[in-house]
Amino acid sequence: MSFTGDLLKSRVIVITGGGTGLGRAMGERFLQLGATVVIASRRDAVLQAAATEMMALHGGRVVPIACDVRDPEAVEAMIESAWTQCGGVDGLVNNAAGNIAAPTERLSHRAVDSVLGIVLHGSIYCTLALGKRWLAAGRKGRVLSIVTTYAEGGSAYVVPSAAAKAGVLAMTRSLAVEWGPRGITCNAIAPGPFPTKGAWERLLPDPSLLTEAIDRIPVRRAGELLELANLAAFLMSDLSLYINGDCITIDGGEKLKGAGQFSWMGSLTSAQWAALEASARGATTKDRSPREA
């Protein structure tokens, strides 16, 4: 089961944070499907090594450009360089992120600014820099932002990330309406847990935390990077042109399990279920008048 090799033929796609983790997995998939990929993040050495490895594995062209997305001038220079080197750009994946798992009262304002700067400002700066070029050139464009399943409902202990991802989701939905008529679509992916060094070493460093995290997922496993990369490829391709302003969750059902008021009942033993049934049936019988019972 696979997409055909020309799904993204001749497309140029910029991926922020494209040298590691999910960004790199998406970049590799886009390359396999015919795209030219621009990867942008802070660490030039990481980007250079990733570009060399990606081209050795899949052929095609990967252009590494060092850029701190918190800096609007650096973003402008990165997008200008991508556009010039590749003869235009067709798509953007806002994937770069920072996150700190901590009780919120332990965070300084610099810690808050750091996460908001990377996730919220970085995503808006990149989207604006490309969007202005697309609109001026009358060119179509696609923006895909990687958010989180807590972008909508928030989450304790990752407050700057939750606030920033909520903002990115709001940007996605707002621009889908504003720029949709001019050929630019904006969508988001909300991933559940996917094993990447950057996220898991920072947020789930203790194996017991990992076991707990997996236990919460109805399909009982973490996501595979290729599963997310294939979803992203679909959303960057012409197969999904009518999807605009949406956020696709890919989490094995984790978010819904947390939301269902009775989902905790999955931990009941069969004896407890039998006792519950007997008690519920007894209550029903008691509630009826003698004639009904």
Site string for ligand NAP, 124-153 (x = CB under 6 A): ----------------------x-x-----
107 near ligand HXC (CB under 6 A): yes
Return the number of the residue (41 or 240) whose C-beta is nearest ligand NAP: 41
Per DSSP (E only), the strands in 17-115 are: 36-41, 62-66, 91-94
Q: Does 70 bind ligand NAP (CB under 6 A)?
A: yes
Letters for 154-193 (x = contact with ligand HXC by CB under 6 A, - = none) are -------x-------------------------------x
Give the gyration radius of the chain's Cα atoms: 22
Structure tokens at 84: 């010039």
Reported in sequence order, the residue ranges of the chain that DSSP labels E, i.e. its strands, are: 12-16, 36-41, 62-66, 91-94, 141-146, 184-191, 247-250
Q: Which residues contact 44 (CB under 8 A, 6 or more apart)?
A: 64, 66
**Collapsed DSSP state (helix, strand, coil) of residue 69:** coil
> Is there binding between residue 49 and ligand HXC (CB under 6 A)?
no
Distance CA 131, CA 140 (A): 9
Check residue 202 for interaction with ligand HXC (CB under 6 A): yes
In 3-state terms, what secondary structure has residue 58?
helix
Confirm or reject binding of residue 66 to ligand HXC (CB under 6 A).
no
Nearer to ligand NAP, 135 or 213 (CB): 213
**Interior CA angle at 110 toward 107 and 113, to 5°?**
100
Sign of the Cα pseudo-torsion (247, 137, 97, 227, in order): positive
Neighbours of 255 (CB within 10 A): 18
Task: Decide if 157 is catalytic.
Answer: no
Q: Should residue 231 be labelled a site residue for ligand NAP when binding is judged by CB under 6 A?
A: no
Burial of residue 183 (CB within 10 Å: 0-12, 13-18, 19+) is middle
Residues between 178 and 197 with contacts to ligand NAP, criterion CB under 6 A: 191, 193-194, 196
Least Cβ distance, residue 110 to ligand NAP (angstroms): 14
- Report the residue from 55, 58, 68, 213 that binds ligand NAP according to the rule CB under 6 A: 68
Selecting among 125, 150, 157, 242, the annotated active-site residue is 150
| Residues 6 or more apart in contact with residue 108 via CB below 8 angstroms | none
Out of 199, 228, 231, 236, the only residue in the binding site for ligand HXC (CB under 6 A) is 199
53 near ligand NAP (CB under 6 A): no
Q: Counting contacts by CB under 6 A, is residue 249 touching ligand HXC? A: no
Where along the sequence are the contacts to ligand HXC (CB under 6 A)?
A: 97-100, 102, 106-108, 110-111, 114-115, 148, 161, 193, 198-199, 202-203
Where along the sequence are the contacts to ligand NAP (CB under 6 A)?
A: 16-17, 19-23, 41-43, 46, 67-70, 95-98, 118, 122, 146, 148, 191, 193-194, 196, 198-199
